[in-house]
Amino acid sequence: MLEGRDIISINDFNKKEIEAVLDKSEEMEDILREKKCMETMKGKILANLFFEPSTRTRLSFSSAMHRLGGNVISLEKIKTSSMAKGESLTDTIRMVDKYSDLIVIRHPDEYSAKMAAGVAENPVINGGDGANQHPTQALIDLCSIRKFKGKIENLNVTLLGDLKHARVIKSLAYGLAIFKANITLVSPAGLELENKTVDELKSNFGITVSQTNDICSGIKNADVLYVCRMQKERFKDLQEAGEMQNTYRITPELLEQGKDSLIVMHALPKVGEIDHRVDQTKFAKYFEEAAFGVPVRMAVISLVVVG
């Protein structure tokens, strides 16, 4: 179904394909639990190209490839590559494509992954292109919601934080729309999700999207509260990012005002927008969500490379 495909945006998937990834990821979870060795990717090489900081995406892609029996090569800094000598990203991709069977790229430029896919013969997976998209994170988020809630359809999902710059929000919003969840957007003034995206969510998918600046009303009827940090690296004015950082802070007291079954998710890293006391509560699901990174990426890699 996904064999040979590039994974650039969550919009590259239809509902059936997302469900196929989530089902495959459950199979991968069973294999991980049983500590079985896999040979699905034996002799294959994944190239991890990360031109922006990353812990979870980079390491979980590596871990997933190793668990599948394959190998990983990586480029983590421009300054240790020939790009420091002025080589273009395009030429770099052209070469790495010949050294590997699959490329994962994270880069600050929007559409860098699309460009890479246009140059590479092997599949390219977008590990985050600027403020644009992070499709495998959305798959992890959808997998987590399905696990914790048993379904995605008709849930009330509140997306909260710097919705303007967070690629995880943009990708997840479209993913939720595919499953007809109801979305509430909560952000500080000036950091709203762009109108184009909101309009597309409503008109192309026919879902309810409401917007507010008030956290309490955003939490009240939510089944899932998805929080994201201020994306400081995408602000022109760092001082403004610092000021915004303290606008919203999720506390256990605040969460007690929501549904008893409310869950809190976050792609991580969290850097102060969630009070650390929340970690100890029944609401916190973000560490489990992060752990799904390995089986979901195992599913994506194997579906893309071997079908």
As annotated, the active-site residues are 56-57, 85, 106, 134
Tell me which residue has its CB nearest to ligand NCD: 267
Shortest Å distance, C-beta 61 to ligand NCD: 10
* E strand or H helix at 73: strand 71-75
* Cα separation, 65 vs 238, whole angstroms: 37
Shortest Å distance, C-beta 168 to ligand NCD: 5
- The closest alpha carbon to 1, from 9, 11, 13, belongs to 13
* Cα separation, 208 vs 177, whole angstroms: 9
* Cα separation, 220 vs 193, whole angstroms: 20
CB distance 114 to 129 below 8 Å: yes
Shortest Å distance, C-beta 36 to ligand NCD: 27
Shortest Å distance, C-beta 189 to ligand NCD: 20
* Category of 183 on φ-ψ map: left (φ > 0), alpha (ψ -120 to 50) or beta: beta
Residue 97 or 175: the one with the smaller Cβ distance to ligand NCD is 175
Length of the chain: 307
Site residues, ligand NCD (CB under 6 A): 56-57, 128, 134, 137, 166-168, 228-229, 267-268
CB distance 74 to 105 below 8 Å: no
Residue 5 or 229: the one with the smaller Cβ distance to ligand NCD is 229
- Is 116 in a helix, a strand, or coil? helix
Residue 163 or 201: the one with the smaller Cβ distance to ligand NCD is 163
Residue 97 or 289: the one with the smaller Cβ distance to ligand NCD is 289
Give the Å distances, CA to CA, from 133 to 81, 107, 110, 255: 25, 11, 8, 29
Tokens of 160: 């909260």
- Classify residue 192 by its DSSP letter: P
Residue 193 or 268: the one with the smaller Cβ distance to ligand NCD is 268
Shortest Å distance, C-beta 238 to ligand NCD: 16
